[in-house]
Amino acid sequence: MEDIRVRYFDTFSRDDLKDPVLLEGLPGIGHVGKLVAEHLIHELGARKIADIHSIYLPPQVMIEENVIRLANNEVYLYDGPPRQLLFLVGDFQSSSNEGHYLLADCYLSIAEELGVSRIYTLGGFGVGHLVDEPRVLGAVNREDLKAEAEAAGAVFENGEPGGGIIGAAGLLLGLAAERGIDGICLMGETSGYLVDPKSAASLLSVLSVLIGIKTDTTTLEERGAELEKMVQKMIESEKGIQEEELRYIG
Q: Amino acid identity of 200?
A: A
Strand partners, 185: 121, 139
Listed in sequence order, the residues at least 6 apart from 25 whose beta carbon sits closer than 8 Å to its beta carbon are 33, 34, 35, 36, 37, 38, 87, 88, 89, 122
- Residue 125 and residue 136: Cα distance in Å, rounded? 9
Quick note: the x/- pattern for a second copy over 178-217, rule CB under 8 A, is: -----x-x------xx------------------------
From 14, 47, 69, 129, residue interacting with a second copy (rule: CB under 8 A): 69
- Which residues is 52 bridged to in the sheet? 6, 73
Q: Within 70-109, which residues bind a second copy (CB under 8 A)? A: 70-71, 91-98, 100-102, 104-105
- Contact positions with a second copy (CB under 8 A) in 133-152: 138-143, 146
DSSP string computed for 12-26: --GGG-SS-EEEE--
Q: Please pick, from the candidates 8, 17, 60, 205, the single residue that binds a second copy as defined by CB under 8 A.
A: 60
Query: By CB under 8 A, what part of segment 154-183 binds a second copy?
Result: 156, 158-167, 170-171, 173-175, 177, 183
Cβ count within 10 A of residue 27: 22
130, 151, 225, 230: which one binds a second copy (CB under 8 A): 230
Indicate the residue among 50 and 213 with the shorter CB distance to a second copy: 50
Q: What is the DSSP letter of 130?
A: -
Q: How many other C-beta atoms can be found within 10 angstroms of the C-beta atom of residue 10?
A: 5
Q: How far is the CB of 87 from a second copy (least distance, A)?
A: 19
Comparing CB distances to a second copy, the nearer of 10 and 68 is: 68
Angle at 180 between CA 175 and CA 184, to 5 degrees: 65
**CA separation for the pair 195, 223 (Å, rounded):** 10
Is the separation of the CB atoms in 203 and 122 below 8 Å? yes
Pick 81 or 250: Cβ nearer a second copy: 250
Under a CB-based contact definition with an 8 Å cutoff, are residues 152 and 210 in contact? yes
Q: With respect to a second copy, which residue has the nearer C-beta, 28 or 197?
A: 28
Q: Which of 8, 43, 44, 58 binds a second copy (CB under 8 A)?
A: 58
Task: Tell me which stretch binds a second copy (CB under 8 A): 14-22, 39-47, 210-218, 237-245.
Answer: 237-245
- By CB under 8 A, how many residues form the interface with a second copy? 82
Binding mask 19-48 for a second copy (x = CB under 8 A): --------xxxxx-----------------
Of the two residues 81 and 159, which places its CB atom closer to a second copy in the complex?
159
